[in-house]
Structure 1
Amino acid sequence: MAGRFDLQGRHGKSRVRVSRVWRRPAEAGGHLFVEWSVAVSVVSDCLPSYTSDDNSAIVATDSIKNTVYVKAKECTEVVSMEEFAVILGRHFTSLYSQVSEATVTIVERPWERVAVDGKPHSHGFKLGSEKHTTEVNVKKSGSLLINSGIQGYSLLKTTQSGFEGFVRDRYTLLPETRERIVATEVTAWWRYPFEHISQLPSKPFCFTQRYQDVKKVLADTFFGPPDVGVYSPSVQNTLYLMAREVLTRFAAF
């Protein structure tokens, strides 16, 4: 019985920490600062690196790390983390003939502009809590997949929450209630509709603005109107309503 054995190796570099400052005048919004943890994974036909001493198809982790720094420096105009991930994916799939696809994952630390006396500071930032994330897959053909999300989004309300009608048996001590504190830490992912590099929109900040919009919808659905709130019969129901509202509000997902 004859057959062909193909081995495509996935290799790369993770935890590349990169910071970027775009220095803008105060009238243009002030400086913009981002801190990203970048991971790059490339796929190449590298069977000889397994079966012999031939590493000619392997892109060194040092090359990947340094490429992240160089490409960040080359971004003289502000880019979102999704746009930066696409830039990296296109670089690795175009520069190296043996690389068929690249997956770039970025986690952004939540540096937020501070306000002093009610006025946004031109170059002052504080560290928030929740993190913006993205995973972008780029193939040599231009095929594209962009998943973004939010991690560690902690929300709490002191009333308008209950839990009733659950299974009760001899192991149950929890009383039913319509009045309790509810708190949760949200992790949410959404997929953008772009399936090819050519479909990417040209409008700057489209990804960053969408992230901010989704975060607001999640919070608004969880809390309800500021004066009366909204009742939550369970964490499960509230999370479902949050996801449904995002999908309803943003039809492109």
Structure 2
Amino acid sequence: MAKELDGFHFEQNHGKARVRIARVWKADGGGGGGGDHSMVEWSVDIILFSDCINAYVRDDNSNIVATDTMKNTVYVKAKECSRQLSAELFAILLAKHFTAFYPQVTSAVVKIVEKPWERVNLNGQPHEHGFKLGNEKHTTEAVVKKSGGLQLTSGIAGLSVLKTTQSGFEGFVRDKYTALPETRERMLATEVTAIWRYSYDSISSVPQKPLYFNERYLDVKNVVLSTFFGPPKEGVYSASVQSTLFQIEKAVLLRFPDISSVRLKMPNIHFLPVNISTKDNSIVKFNDDVYLPTDEPHGSIEATLSRFWARM
């Protein structure tokens, strides 16, 4: 929170970072068999904006919410959740607690990264209490004001995708520094980072279905994948990473009316064609089949698409 102080402009906040928690929900209520177990692993960051200027200028800590208290609150509030809920709803629950419980806290920001534990399937049957670690992570950030105002975003981090054909790059600027040949046949690989903002602007407007945002996360991920790859048999041609990025963002906004904006970061992770010249000047020629994988340096492509009334 900002304040004029001794002729200066002073802003401050404090919080607790990387509070790691695993929460297990057992259908049987105990530790044995008799029903499916569910679990999540979250890393939680908390930032509080509060009136505790005196701690900085008068050595008076009476308005500081201790960061250790914030950590303990995460565990207690998780325990109080008797049934599984999304990271988004847990972030809102935490932020609402801090703004409602402490008079000096004017707003709270809670960020959560969910580790991708997935239920194990053995011989086609889902295991009741067995999980394996997946790849991409589910992220969320909830900003809650004391008034109940809300800014809610979700995202995907580390979604690695690749297709071996149906990609090209032509017609770009050519000058004396350009060595890259034009092509209509190349591999396309990237690691997608996506962040989307929901249109819900108050806590009271948020859907209360416990796993609503988990379902929306999976829906958005499916749109990202289906737009990137195209139909299973024929695929879809990509004229550039930029073109594919825009098509994904447009598809997300057209499909989900409660998402107001989406930002994608899609680095172009290169697979370079390999041609080998031997000592007798013969050439083992590349034929769209042998590549040198490299992730440094890589192209950096990022853009945001929003509805006219929205902002990221």
TM-score surpassing 0.5? yes
Q: Paired residue for 1:126, among 129, 132, 138?
A: 132
Q: Where do 1:154-165 residues align within 5 Å?
A: 154-165=160-171
CA apart distance, 1:24: 2.2
Hey, what's the Cα distance between the residues in 1 that align with 2:200 and 2:11?
26
Match of 2:197 in 1: 191
1:81 is matched with 87
Question: Does the Cα contact within 8 Å between 1:7 and 1:47 map onto a contact in 2?
Answer: no
Q: Which residue of 2 aligns with 1:22?
A: 25
Is there any run of 5+ residues in structure 1 with no aligned partner, and where?
A: none
Partner of 1:166: 172
Moved more, 168-177 or 237-246: 168-177
Aligned length: 250
CA positional deviation for 1:7: 5.2
Which of 37, 57, 66 in structure 1 is aligned with 2:63? 57
Quote the Cα distance in structure 1 between the aligned partners of 2:253 and 2:74: 33
Cα deviation 1:14-69 (Å, max 9, x = unaligned): 000000011126896x2111100000000111111111110111111110001101
2:43 aligns with 37
What whole-Å deviation, never above 9, does each CA across 1:111-141 have from its counterpart, x for those lacking one? 1111111111111111111110001011111
Q: Is the 8 A contact 1:7 1:45 kept in 2?
A: no
Larger radius of gyration: 2
Question: Does 1:246 pair with 2:252?
Answer: yes
State which of 153, 161, 170 in structure 2 corresponds to 1:147.
153
Find the aligned partners of 1:196 and 1:251 in 2 and give their Cα distance.
17
CA distance in structure 2 between the partners assigned to 1:189 and 1:9 by the alignment: 26
The structural deviation recorded for 1:204 is 2.6
What is the TM-score with the length of structure 2 in the denominator? 0.77
8 Å Cα contact 1:8/1:44 also seen in 2: no
Shift of 1:149: 0.6
CA contact under 8 A between 2:200 and 2:258: conserved in structure 1?
no
Distance 2:34 2:222 in 1: 26
Q: Is the 8 A contact 1:9 1:45 kept in 2?
A: no
Gaps of 5+ in 2: 260-312
Alignment of 1:65-76 (within 5 A): 65-76=71-82
Deviation at 1:8, TM superposition (A): 5.6
Between stretches 169-178 and 14-23, larger displacement belongs to: 169-178
Pair 1:208 & 2:214 matched: yes
Query: Partner residue of 2:285?
Result: none
Which amino acid counterpart does residue 118 of structure 2 have in structure 1? E
Deviation at 1:150, TM superposition (A): 0.6
What is the aligned-residue RMSD (CA, Å)?
Answer: 1.6
Farther-moved stretch of structure 1 (18-27 vs 106-115): 18-27
Provide the residue aligned with 2:226 in structure 1: 220
Tell me what 2:15 maps to.
12
Q: What is the rounded CA distance, in whole Å, between the counterparts of 1:209 and 1:233 in structure 2?
A: 31
- The alpha-carbon deviation at position 183 of structure 1 amounts to 0.3
Conserved 8 A contact 2:4-2:10: no
Q: For residues 51 and 138 of structure 2, what CA distance do their matches in structure 1 show? A: 32
Cα pair distance change 1:8/1:140, threshold 3 Å: farther
SS of alignment partner, residue 42 of structure 1: strand
Q: Give aligned-pair identity as a percent.
A: 60
1:93 is paired with a residue whose SS is: helix
Distance 1:56 1:241 in 2: 52
In structure 1, C-alpha distance between the alignment counterparts of 2:211 and 2:172, rounded to whole Å: 45
| Contact 2:89-2:210 at 8 Å conserved across structures | no
Correspondence for 2:241 among 235, 240, 250? 235
**Residue deviations 1:61-86, cap 9 Å, x none?**
11000110111111111111011011
**Structure 1: how far apart are the matches of 2:4 and 2:111?**
32
Kindly provide the amino acid, as one letter, of the partner of residue 80 in structure 2: E
Structure with more of its chain in helix, by fraction = 1
CA distance in 1, matches of 2:206, 2:170: 46
Larger relative contact order (Cα-Cα within 8 Å, sequence gap ≥ 6): 1
In the superposition, the TM-score normalised over structure 1's length comes to: 0.95
Name the structure 1 match of 2:52.
46
